[in-house]
Amino acid sequence: MTGLRASRIGGPGPIEVGGTGAGYDVARVREDFPILRRQVRGRPLVYLDNAATTQKPQAVIDALGGYYSGINSNVHRGVHQLSELATEAFEAARETVRAYFNASAVEEIIFTRNATEGINLVAATFGRANVGEGDEVLISAMEHHSNIVPWQMLCEASGARLRVAPIDDRGELILEEFERLLGPRTTLVAVSHMSNALGTVNPVEEIVAIASRRGVPVLLDGSQAAYHMPVDVQALGCDFYVATGHKLYGPTGIGVLYGRRARLEAMPPYMGGGDMIASVTFEKSTWNVLPYKFEAGTPNIAGAVGLAAALDYVTAVGLDVIGAHEQDLLAYGTSALEQMEGVRLIGTARRKASVLSFVMEGIHPHDIGTIVDREGVAIRTGHHCAQPVMDRFGVPATARASLAMYNTREEIDTLVRALERVRDVFK
């Protein structure tokens, strides 16, 4: 097997998928991720910190190297051939992203550094133009800090009010409360598609439907959802959708903001600089067309090319089969952890994906993390940039094992054995 490789750099070219057959061949997929061959502390790496960032397939690593060794140049400027090739690869990447999220036009795809920048962009532009004193921004109680703090800053600057829709003991959004809090002054709803700390998959279709009935635009934070399930922004009907490349098996430093064209057209620019202008005089500058209006300065060209390679890879494997495989692992891991004495899962939503957040009685998550690391198992411990979620469940922190396409049941078994070791240390 030669692996799943994009046939040319940055392009959405044909991809050879081998070995997966009717079932899902996880061993085959693992071969494409070189880091999974390494050892940690003398043991095979068991990487279960995917909600923080995922590992990269060889196709992405090759795309980055190929870009720099083959066509590196600045985009949208030069008349020379390399600049043309770089521009072509960059814009082809945008098309790949558009197709991945099923946006209706490439003009609706803005490259950012990450999801955080996407949210800040909307807060600084849509927010500045539309959110005023007495208005309200509605978020949920399960948000990552990146979908809380930009709105707090906006509210502080504008005199608007941040409203927070509560969640229940399973970690599910209480939809009736959400609907009740969506008032006449609500100017924007911003909620995560999937919670990083709990794994909850929000009923975003209903959220958008409720908000749309009142004419309130919705931003969905897809940082977690976008690599576990197919996302169709047109079907969702949201106004904004943000995602980050490094969780989508792509490079760090590249993210995506989808914005409905009419919204983006009406918004003022974000940062000023090169590329985002149509003309500049000292008296007045005019703005470039979409999407460039929101992309000041030289973008992360290699990052975009790498992200496209990642999306090609994910698409070739198939989000449906990836999702099914991860659901199997989630069920397996949930049952394994539930059977461990003294282990309590935090986040037991009925609709959930890929996240096993838990605490162990009498043992701090940080100690769990250190001990399982000695067994080669990488998990995340702490508040997961979601302190309000920790407060909601009355814990200072949790341990979190999070799954991706290349994880296996055997790795869950290794985690469980490592957790038994934790218990031995603290018995």
Partner 1 sequence: MSDLSDLYQEVILDHNKRPRNFRTIESPSHHAEGYNPLCGDRLNLYVQVDGDRITDVAFEGSGCAISKASASLMTDELKGRTVTEARELFTRFHQVVTTPPDQPVEELGKLSVLAGVREFPVRVKCASLAWHTLKAALDREDSTTTE
Q: Which is nearer to partner 1, 137 or 418 (CB)?
A: 418
Report which secondary-structure segment, H or E, holds 354.
none
- Per-residue DSSP letter, 145: G
**Could you give the CA distance from residue 239 to residue 217 in angstroms, rounded to a whole number?**
6
Among 371, 379, 399, 412, binds partner 1 (CB under 8 A): 371
How many residues interact with partner 1 (rule CB under 8 A)?
Answer: 18
Nearest residue (CB) to partner 1, 173 versus 390? 390
CA distances from 113 to 137, 161, 307, 356 (A): 24, 27, 12, 27
Q: Please select the residue that binds partner 1; options are 38, 366, 409, 417, rule is CB under 8 A.
A: 366
- Binding of residue 374 to partner 1 (CB under 8 A): yes
User: Going residue by residue from 384 to 403, which x/- string records binding to partner 1, judged by CB under 8 A?
Assistant: ---x--x-----xx------
Radius of gyration of the chain (CA): 22
As measured in angstroms, the least distance from the Cβ of 42 to partner 1 is 9
Q: Is 52 in the site for partner 1 (CB under 8 A)?
A: no
> In terms of CB distance, is 8 or 374 closer to partner 1?
374
Token pair recorded at residue 180: 């009740």
Pick one of 102, 367, 408, 413: the residue that binds partner 1 (CB under 8 A). Answer: 367
Preceding amide of 291 cis, omega within 30? yes
Decide whether 145 or 161 has the Cβ nearer to partner 1: 145
Q: By CB under 8 A, which span of 53-61, 148-156, 230-238, 380-388 interacts with partner 1?
A: 380-388
- For partner 1, the closer of residues 152 and 387 by Cβ is 387
Cα 67 from Cα 395, distance rounded (Å) = 46
Residue (342 or 396) nearer to partner 1, CB: 396
Token output for 90 = 């960059």
- Quick one: which of 93, 131, 207, 363 contacts partner 1 (CB under 8 A)? 363
Q: Which is nearer to partner 1, 216 or 386 (CB)?
A: 386
The values of phi and psi at residue 114, to 5°, are -170, -175
Strand pairing partners for 220? 191, 241
Stretch that binds partner 1, among 78-86, 295-303, 311-319, 381-389 (CB under 8 A): 381-389
Q: How far is CA 259 from the centre of its chain?
A: 16
By CB under 8 A, residue 426 contacts partner 1: yes
CA–centroid distance for 264 within its chain: 21
2, 81, 298, 370: residue in contact with partner 1 (rule CB under 8 A):
370
What does the DSSP 8-state code read for residue 293? G
| Per annotation, catalytic residue among 210, 340, 385, 395 | 385
Strand partners, 244: 255
CB of 381 to partner 1, least distance (A): 7
Phi-psi region for residue 274, left (φ > 0), alpha (ψ -120 to 50) or beta? beta
Find the part of the chain contacting partner 1 (CB under 8 A) among 77-85, 292-300, 322-330, 378-386. Answer: 378-386
Tokens 């996240």 -> residue: 355
- Binding partner 1 by CB under 8 A: which of 200, 381, 407, 414? 381
- Check binding of 365 to partner 1 (CB under 8 A): yes
Q: Is 385 a catalytic residue?
A: yes
Please check whether residue 25 is in contact with residue 19, taking contact to mean a CB–CB distance below 8 angstroms.
yes
DSSP E strand boundaries for 340-389: 343-345, 355-360, 377-378, 380-382
For 226, the 3-state DSSP assignment is helix
Task: Kindly tell me the sign of the dihedral angle through the C-alpha atoms of 333, 334, 340, 346.
Answer: positive
Which range, of 8-16, 194-202, 252-260, 366-374, touches partner 1 by CB under 8 A?
Answer: 366-374
Minimum CB distance to partner 1, residue 97 (Å):
33
Q: Would you please indicate which residues are annotated as catalytic (active-site) residues?
A: 385
Please report, as ranges, the residues that interact with partner 1 according to CB under 8 A. Answer: 362-367, 370-371, 374, 381-383, 387, 390, 396-397, 425-426
